[in-house]
Amino acid sequence: MAGRKITVVISQAPGKNPVKRHLEEEIATRLMLSGTAEVSVVLHLYDLTADHTGMLWLKSLRGNLVVLGWLYPRAIRWVLDRNGVKGKEGESRLNRIEDADADDQEHPQEEVAASRGIGALDVPNRLIYAIDLRNDGDPEVYIKEIERLADLVSVPLVQLGFGGGLQLPVLPGNGPATNGTATAHGANGNGTPDHSHNGDTGSVISGIFSNGNSNGTNGHAETPSLPMTSPAVIGGGDVRRRWYPVIDYSRCTNCMECIDFCLFGVYGVDHSDRILVEEQDNCKKGCPACSRVCPVNAIIFPEHKTPGIAGAEGGPVEDFKIDLSKLFGAPSALEMAVLERDQELVADGRDAVGAAVGLPKRQTCQPEKTRDDLDDLMDGLDSLDL
């Protein structure tokens, strides 16, 4: 399987859930056994601080990455970006299970909206595939997908005949080689780079040629018969649970509503005047108020119980129960944001401010008109998750 290794990082679920831990270990072990991937394990991405060994490890990885975690893919991607782990968005088939039957027409709309954001900065030319481990409990599902991705994106490796058997090196211009050559296998339908393919495994020093750095915790023997244990967690130990907003720059328009709204100093701007989550740990635990104020839903709180706030894309996921909240007196998004913010202010010993401070002013100069049928229809649209 040489020539197809892809770098995979598994981000552990927080806590000690044995089912989740088992899934992580199964995936790691089997990937390593099959030689498909360079696997490493870090703690829960969202809880890592920028200077945690695990995060520094992630930053050091080069080339295409698959990151598996217990968060929505959008959340994974933007947490990574915030920590300087940047790349182009890789599309995985796993992440859109519920969209499998959706109209194709939905996607062009999403993309158009997305392109209005200020975008991430300094994105290197490599792909990051973010996969949510809550999609499925079967490790096989992830293994298959990673194998598919590995085929798609691996850098071609040159084989040298170390250790066992006589193999001719595959160099451009060599005649018909006994091991597969790029031309023999040809480009696959997607037009991705050809890769050399050798049926004889076990003869390549992967540490030199693979995409990422060796994880250093397990000696990589290529022979599948060696028993493997799951790699040790990089940076080990436990981390404190954290709570802070994550900006999705593909949606963010830099309108600055969030920095106006948050009275706890969480937001700031960088040297190019772009909005930034500056003091992450100033954020009040459990409070998602600013995410409700963002006009383009660019603020993610990955651990919030509402999927839309936690970074889910598209509509609500298979909820077969009707949500009656709107009937039972639910506040609008802005009303809720104001209540939540006041709650945190009061808890901090400060004064509640109500709607007076830092709220977007949306057409307040217009006189109020009486409601008509069109108003009812428009309000009814809110409950249609379009």
Partner 1 sequence: MSEPLVFMMGKFEARIPVDRMYFESHFWAVPHGDALRVGFTAYAVRLLQDVYFLDWQIDPDTQVRKKQTIGEIESSKAVSTMYAPADGRVIQFNEALLNDPSLINADNYDKGWLYEFSTTQPLLSPDEYVKVLEAGWEQTQRLLKNQFNE
Interface residue list for partner 1 (CB under 8 A): 315-316, 319, 321-331, 335-336, 339, 342-343, 376, 379-380, 383-385
Q: Which residue has the tokens 């394990």?
A: 41
Contact 255, 299 (CB under 8 A): no
Tokens of 217: 């915790």
CA 195 to chain centre: 27
Minimal distance, residue 368 CB to partner 1, in Å: 18
Nearer to partner 1, 19 or 322 (CB): 322
State the amino acid at position 377 in one-letter form.
L
Minimal distance, residue 96 CB to partner 1, in Å: 16
Nearer to partner 1, 156 or 314 (CB): 314
Query: In the Cβ-directed half-sphere of 299, how many Cα atoms lie within 13 Å?
Result: 26
Tokens of 342: 């006041």
Nearer to partner 1, 51 or 373 (CB): 373
Minimal distance, residue 279 CB to partner 1, in Å: 26
Minimal distance, residue 246 CB to partner 1, in Å: 23
Nearer to partner 1, 321 or 361 (CB): 321
CA angle 162, 165, 169 (to 5 degrees): 55
Nearer to partner 1, 163 or 316 (CB): 316
Minimal distance, residue 361 CB to partner 1, in Å: 21
Minimal distance, residue 371 CB to partner 1, in Å: 10
Query: SS3 for 53?
Result: helix
Minimal distance, residue 119 CB to partner 1, in Å: 32
Nearer to partner 1, 18 or 328 (CB): 328
Which residues, in sequence order, are CB contacts of 222 under 8 Å at separation 6+?
2, 35, 201, 202, 203, 204, 206
C-alpha 142/C-alpha 25 separation (Å) is 12
Minimal distance, residue 355 CB to partner 1, in Å: 12
From the list 207, 72, 83, the residue with the least C-alpha distance to 134 is: 72
Distance of CA 371 to CAs 330, 374, 375, 376, 381, Å?
Answer: 20, 8, 6, 7, 15
C-alpha 31/C-alpha 230 separation (Å) is 10
Nearer to partner 1, 238 or 375 (CB): 375
Distance of CA 18 to CAs 54, 62, 70, 76, 273, Å?
Answer: 21, 31, 14, 22, 45
From the list 125, 153, 137, the residue with the least C-alpha distance to 70 is: 137
Nearer to partner 1, 166 or 324 (CB): 324
